[in-house]
Chain A
């Protein structure tokens, strides 16, 4: 038996020594909307800076801001502005906000509904759907089918921005919701699986099964979320993709932010389906 004990000790001590070797790491977490940009950028960044490890985690904008406030991460990803409550919660944290791209939150419907003729809605109609007052697509000129209303978890930045535009309150309740899901991926899956769903999605997640609706404006123009209209601020639910740090970023975090704002970084923003800033 002794040789086994020796072996065990050897393995343990190797592990421990291994544990002492630290590389520079930038810890990033938060919004699943910003995530595709950051995880692609991190892959690219590592090629040029092999000594730095960019560790990326999802969770939602709220999670990113909380973890940043608690000092667990170096950079928070957020798809919305910080709320006053969040600033109050971490009075000693000096939040600095860095925009890296533009995004639109789009009411997204199952392709069956889009093809049946519902290609645009007004913000009031969307509000009625999420309030539960319109329960059938007939109510907005669509086919006679019950609407599957897909909501998002409260901490999601996409929801916050959407609800802000639709109800004027980012934390509004949606009594009409049939499903409450998390990430953009999960939301997209539910809308695809259904043939009568509406959800809220970032523009980068639209495809032939999940179609984005244009918005009927009060001046009776119809605005669809094209890059040009988003860049011009015409689409009503547009937002910036944000990275948040506490204090002025330094070292590897600073390098990473600079990379994102460089031409290469901005190209990644565009490849991920968003609109570049410069």
Chain B
């Protein structure tokens, strides 16, 4: 092999190693630095009280907050997004598709801090007035802004899923004299549904990991509500806790380590969701990424 060939191969292999190592590096460092908290606190890490001043580091309130905002986001965005995708893929004439897709891409690109501003300046005020609350910084407000954030992704991925069903299935169903509803239900849906499920899982992962919008509007109170359905109260998610408190902790303290542990939990959850979505439902090799 020529010299330039050898250097070239070295470069190519080297950069691949760098790329592949990033995700492992992140995982290993999170594990390494949360170890201290795991060893010292053990199962107490999943307790209900977080008070660094007394050395209590229970992350249950944050886990609840994350689950609650994600659930709200999904409950709103999934049906709305799916129904809209049915419209764009099955009802809207094909010539408008590109415009709709471009608009959705633009919306999906709005930075999360801008959503945060919208949340804190508009949504929280509306929620406060609508439910006559003391404060509009609630779990519900965070869930709703997340729903709006993941809506474009949800629509565009579900639209792709429906659109990729070959024409002949629809044509065959139409030839049988079926209504559009029946065409979609009997011919299109059975093929598209695994991809739609994948899309929902990816959107779920994104909602779970969102930080800025959630942090500004969720309230910042690390307390479990009386009932899990009390979403009109302020709460705290893993991401908002990390965003607010990470910089306050001293490197090497148990507090720091417990924060990293929370990050690890989030990392594992989101990565798990992404992997399940990719392996079982959504097949990225079949479509173009760019």
Contact = CB atoms under 8 A, between A and B. Distances in A.
Interface in A230-255: none
A82 interface: no
Given A153-B244, A190-B137, A89 B220 contact: no
Contact of A63 (B134, B221, B248): B248
Nearest to B243: A182
B8 interface: no
B125 interface: yes
B234 interface: yes
Given A148-B134, A178-B234, A59 B248 contact: yes
A153 B234 contact: no
Interface string A168-205: 00010100011111100000001001101100000000
Given A89-B253, A179-B221, A60 B137 contact: no
A62 B244 CA distance: 13
Interface in B93-137: 124-125, 128, 134-137
A63 to B, nearest CB: 5
Given A59-B248, A66-B249, A146 B221 contact: no
Given A69-B250, A89-B253, A173-B51, A182 B221 contact: no
B135 A190 contact: yes
Contacts of B198: none
B213 to A, nearest CB: 15
A154 interface: yes
Contacts of A146: 134
Nearest to B234: A179
Contacts of A182: 220, 244
How big is the A interface, by class?
20 to 34
A39 interface: no
B222 interface: yes
Nearest to A171: B53
Interface in B50-67: 51-54
A155 interface: yes
Contact of B134 (A154, A171, A181, A194): A194
Contacts of B134: 146, 148, 178, 194, 196-197
B174 interface: no
Given A190-B135, A190-B137, A153 B220 contact: yes
Interface in A66-86: 66, 69-70
A112 B222 CA distance: 28
Interface string B223-239: 00000000000100000
A251 B156 CA distance: 58
B220 A180 contact: yes
Given A173-B51, A179-B221, A153 B250 contact: no
A204 B187 CA distance: 67
B248 A179 contact: no
A59 B247 contact: yes
B171 interface: no
A88 B222 CA distance: 28
A153 B128 contact: no
A178 B125 CA distance: 16
Contact of B245 (A153, A178, A179): A153
A179 B247 contact: no
A70 B250 contact: yes
Contacts of A181: 220
Contact of B248 (A70, A89, A155, A178): A155
B52 A148 contact: no
Given A153-B245, A154-B52, A177 B221 contact: yes
B87 interface: no
Nearest to B50: A154
A62 B158 CA distance: 47
B251 interface: yes
Interface string B207-222: 0000000000001111
B179 to A, nearest CB: 51
Nearest to B222: A180
A196 B249 CA distance: 32
A141 to B, nearest CB: 20
B129 to A, nearest CB: 11
Given A89-B253, A173-B51, A193 B221 contact: no
Contact of A66 (B54, B125, B222, B250): B250
Nearest to B215: A182
5 contacts: A63-B247, A69-B250, A153-B244, A154-B248, A193-B124
Interface of A: 59-60, 62-63, 66, 69-70, 89, 146, 148, 153-155, 171, 173, 177-182, 190, 193-194, 196-197
Interface of B: 51-54, 124-125, 128, 134-137, 219-222, 234, 244-245, 247-251, 253
Given A148-B135, A154-B53, A177-B221, 13 more contacts: A59-B248, A63-B248, A89-B250, A148-B134, A154-B52, A171-B54, A173-B51, A178-B221, A179-B219, A180-B221, A180-B234, A181-B220, A193-B135
